[in-house]
Structure 1
């Protein structure tokens, strides 16, 4: 059944000559399901929850950005009924067709982006989302919010420039003419980097699937494709590889090294280490020290 949606109008929200609003909002269960007559870029900055959009319900986490065209209905909800325990913070950047006209002057040599913006400003366009892998989108959103909250000399120019950069950055990520396998390999590299950063913690395939937005089955295929190992085997070898580096370059106790790479039981660590390296950790350290 189609849900009824409240209409938010630019004349009541964008009450400035810029036709632009950037805010930071702690989502709750009271905001209405709504559509609007302006374009909205929503960036999830903290917490977790759900995005009810059209007829879909999408789990959200930090780093996800949604672009909501005119006429698309949506609302964010926190993950729990006690949002103060796990706040869902979203930065919203709203602008209407007047701002699109101004940006068109700045982007006059970028006709595909202008056409993209104009399509977002007309009813019938579909929403889309991108992930902020390198932090560039978050940085632009924070700068937009800061400039909007504490305007100074040149703020109008600064806001228009920052908004143009945000639009171009998101457009590039969505439409960049790159080979799909190259993008996939880059995304998988982020998974590997995440594993290396969280090596001391209990990393699971389900956790990585949630982080990467790939299914566990697809993620297993990616490990076989890019490492020729299963997830479990790769994680085990990665832990032993890092422990070898620390045995060679530090004076830490072996038990501390084992814990730093995710082994809570020293006997298990010694057993796995000897199986992969061919000798116990102490013998490995002595041989490389001499």
Structure 2
């Protein structure tokens, strides 16, 4: 099957805010629900797509693996993941499409929630291994709450009034927080496994200046060293310690831009006990010294 790419320009417009809401409804002939509806055509995106199944059921082919979906399922499709739906039976979807690189989401704050780490970072990578059992499945009342939020976002997109961008970003964040909290209450074994790693990421984000020891992270995750390393690296592309170092450098960059603290003071503030080590790590990651970074941003 030939795959196509769903280009964000068709949903956001040339200069539009990079967030759109599209509904897919299944009739007897499975006709497209909107322009550029690729529901039954294998495709990938150059953006993220939050899928909310509100009615019916179908099979979902994702990266060559078939998974059944049904009303109440909510999951994130990251960019470049090939997928399509087939054998649709009264299937209704809400697709919330957004470009995380352009919408300026507070990722650092979101990652403080274990449920966000599990649902939005880990679950997309472990979907095939878990046979989709780690997805979020909402019961009727929370699903109705999510539908209401999606309705509000859709109306905001259609009105195109001043303040639209602020309102849409706020509603997307409200949706993410609600879903992340719901994921924390998931009762599947697979979801619990992802939440354990989400707890580690959340702990690092919440207390990045702490002198963390690997044994402490293992206790938080209730996992062996090898399992934590494997799962963490698959989710983030880094070891927990490298993740922590980069997180500290990110916080240091903010302080270099926005405060008059000395390099040594900033190093200590973000968790480095040795300013020389801080400078070496800063240069390794960014290719320049903290002093040069501050001077260039002045």
> Which TM-score applies when normalising by structure 1?
0.48
> Which TM-score applies when normalising by structure 2?
0.47
Bigger Rg over Cα: 1
